[in-house]
Amino acid sequence: MSTEIAAPSAAETAPVQTPVQKKVFLKTYGCQMNVYDSDRMSDALAKDGYISTDSVEDADLVLLNTCHIREKAAEKVYSELGRLRDMKKARAADGREMVIGVAGCVAQAEGAEIIRRSPAVDLVVGPQTYHRLPQFLERARAGERVIETEYAIEDKFEHLPMPDKARTRARGVTAFLTVQEGCDKFCTFCVVPYTRGSEVSRPVSQIEAEARRLVEAGVRELTLLGQNVNAWHGLGPDGTEWTLGHLLAHLSDIEGLARLRYTTSHPRDMDDALIAAHRDLPKLMPYLHLPVQSGSDRILKAMNRRHKAADYVALIARIRAVQPDLALSGDFIVGFPGETDEDFEDTLRLIETVGYAQSYSFKYSTRPGTPGADLTDQVPEDVKSERLERLQALLFSQQTAFQRACVGREIDLLIEKPGRLPGQVVGRSPWLQPVIVDAKTSQIGDIIRVRITAAGTNSLHAEVA
């Protein structure tokens, strides 16, 4: 801004009614898509005059972007709302307003229940209605308790504002971009098809425009997001039907964009074009998050995963054949109803066969409304805990082995942010590990060649090669 600041005249120093800038505190739970959504919502709110604040005490609007995937995640929201209720009361006593909104997957799944259980909540907004947030807020501020959970995914993407350039720049050199949302797979344990709706792919032109905007704002690495990102499909500019592999190839032509990733994939949707992309696209990082959940065919069937353990193992072999440097990450659930010791041993065997660099593992959590909730042969909690411990010990040893195997290697590092100590910066390896190296913060956004010198549990140390 180039506004001149002149000495105030007498008239200007008299008290005037200036509109106070409204502040929003946004708290994000759950997966990367919620992170993306929170950024889109805060961009939309910025257009509406809200500035972001890190302090809930300061906020005129508190927005919780919630996750419903496991019981613990959903319950967190209600305890947070309890704390906010007290804060709102104290505020009201001072004559100040505080609007409380719940967004995300709990909002979608339990909108009416939130309104009933938490009287302090003014607004419940489902993931497909974010483009109308400013209107909803207006109604909430006028005293209405708003619940909005309908609409189609397509509407949202047509009407949400593009990422704001200055705000994108402030967020750093990596960014998420939702290309696909919703899920038609209906795994029997999972709430996502109910909270995010049915599978929708955004059109190529929309995705490309957003990707270019992000790159213009300094983004070097893009992670394409979808609940089933590799189910993405759309009409290519060449008039043929594209799948994710084609889209990745198309985006990798964007000048200035250095790296591409995608998550989360389903084994059933790893098609030839996507496998070829891992062979052909230097910008596509050799990292794949491909959840399998269980290594037992019986349990996979009961989960409605629609593939066998051997299919998964064969698929990994095909991908590794074209990209031997691939680091694999996975999700696992222990204690799905009916899981026997033998089923669990099958999962351990699959993990030993495949070898994971990274992983996420969970005890099965019964989710209301899913087919799994109706199954009677639930596994006792202590058995789940014991299995999870064994599973995590195995996965941890694989992760440690992967970390150690990196020592001595020379790799490309994308520098992302300043390190904890002066003179240090932190970047990401191609396999998503944080890497600490001595370099200048002016190099943030650069890709440099480094040699790995030491490995910790999650991060690596390196020197400039």
Residue ranges that bind ligand F3S, judged by CB under 6 A: 30-31, 33-34, 67-69, 104-105, 191-192, 195-196, 227
Rounded to whole angstroms, the Cα distance separating 200 from 196 reads: 10
Chosen from ligand SAH, ligand F3S, ligand SF4, none, partner binding at 186 (C-beta under 5 to 8 Å by type)? ligand SF4
Q: Tell me the closest approach of the beta carbon of residue 315 to ligand SF4, in angstroms.
A: 15
Query: Segment 172-191, which members bind ligand SF4 (CB under 6 A)?
Result: 183, 185-187, 190
Q: Which of residues 139-178 bind ligand SAH (CB under 6 A)?
A: none
367 binds, among ligand SAH, ligand F3S, ligand SF4, none (CB under 5 to 8 A by kind): ligand SAH
Q: Which does 362 bind (CB under 5 to 8 A by kind): ligand F3S, ligand SAH, ligand SF4, none?
A: ligand SAH
Is 266 a binding residue for ligand SF4 by CB under 6 A? The answer is yes
The verdict on 223 binding ligand SF4 (CB under 6 A) reads no
Q: How many CB atoms lie within 10 A of CB 338?
A: 16
Q: In this structure, are residues 418 and 442 in contact, taking their beta carbons and an 8 Å threshold?
A: no
Other C-beta atoms closer than 10 Å to the C-beta of 324 total 8
Tell whether residue 189 is a contact of ligand SAH (CB under 6 A): yes
Q: Alpha-carbon distance 303 to 292, whole Å?
A: 11
Q: Using an 8 Å Cβ cutoff, are 183 and 226 in contact?
A: no
Beta carbon nearer to ligand SAH, 334 or 435: 334
DSSP annotation of 84: H
Q: 172 or 371: whose CB is closer to ligand SF4?
A: 371
Task: Report how many residues bind ligand SF4 under the rule CB under 6 A.
Answer: 10
Subset of residues 244 to 273 that bind ligand SAH, contact rule: CB under 6 A: 264, 266
Q: Is 300 in the site for ligand SAH (CB under 6 A)?
A: no
- The DSSP string of 272-290 is HHHHHHHHH-TTB-SEEE-
The reply to whether 364 sits near ligand SAH by the rule CB under 6 A is yes
Query: Which residue of 126, 127, 245, 291 would you call a contact of ligand SAH, by CB under 6 A?
Result: 291
Cα torsion 361, 306, 311, 380 to 10°: value is 40
Choose between 175 and 217: whose C-beta lies nearer to ligand F3S: 175
- Whole-angstrom CA distances from 67 to 37, 77, 89, 149, 461 are 12, 8, 26, 15, 34
Tell me how far apart the alpha carbons of residues 403 and 457 are, in angstroms, rounded to a whole number: 7
From ligand SAH, ligand F3S, ligand SF4, none, which one binds at residue 193 (CB under 5 to 8 Å depending on kind)?
A: ligand SF4
Q: Look up residue 430 and give its two tokens.
A: 């191609």
How far apart CA 75 and CA 367 sit, in angstroms, is 12
Strand, coil or helix: 64: strand
Q: Is the peptide bond before 263 cis (omega within 30 degrees of 0)?
A: no
The C-alpha atoms of residue 113 and residue 226 are separated, in whole angstroms, by 27
User: CA 262, CA 439: separation in Å to the nearest integer?
Assistant: 28
Contact 196, 105 (CB under 8 A): yes
Q: For residues 214 and 265, what is the distance between their CA atoms, to the nearest angstrom?
A: 23
Backbone dihedral angles phi then psi of residue 253, each to the nearest 5 degrees: -80, -10
Q: Quick one: what does residue 302 bind among ligand SF4, ligand F3S, ligand SAH, none, with the CB cut-off 5 to 8 Å set by partner type?
A: none
**Which 328-357 positions form the footprint of ligand SAH (CB under 6 A)?**
331, 333
Residues forming a β-bridge with 26: 63
Nearest distance, CB of residue 267 and ligand SF4, angstroms: 10
Q: In this structure, what are the phi and psi dihedrals at residue 259, rounded to the nearest 5 degrees?
A: -140, 145
Q: Which is nearer to ligand SAH, 371 or 434 (CB)?
A: 371
- Of 185 and 320, which CB lies nearer to ligand SF4 in the complex structure? 185
Q: How far is the CB of 372 from ligand F3S (least distance, A)?
A: 15
Binding partner at 68 among ligand SF4, ligand SAH, ligand F3S, none, C-beta below 5 to 8 Å by kind:
ligand F3S
Q: Report in angstroms how near the CB of residue 30 gets to ligand F3S at its nearest.
A: 3
Q: Note whether 31 binds ligand SF4 by CB under 6 A.
A: no
- Residue closest to ligand F3S (Cβ): 30
Least Å from the CB of residue 103 to ligand SAH? 18
- Which stretch of DSSP H or E encloses residue 305? none
* Buried-exposed string 414-436: b where 16+ CB fall within 10 A, e elsewhere: bbbeebeeeeebbbbbbbbbebb
Q: Map the footprint of ligand SAH across residues 216-245, applying CB under 6 A.
A: 227-228
Q: In sequence order, what are the beta bridge partners of 175?
A: 222
Task: Give the footprint of ligand SAH on this chain (CB under 6 A).
Answer: 69-70, 189-190, 192, 227-228, 264, 266, 291, 293, 331, 333, 362, 364-365, 367
Task: Give the footprint of ligand SF4 on this chain (CB under 6 A).
Answer: 183, 185-187, 190, 192-193, 227-228, 266
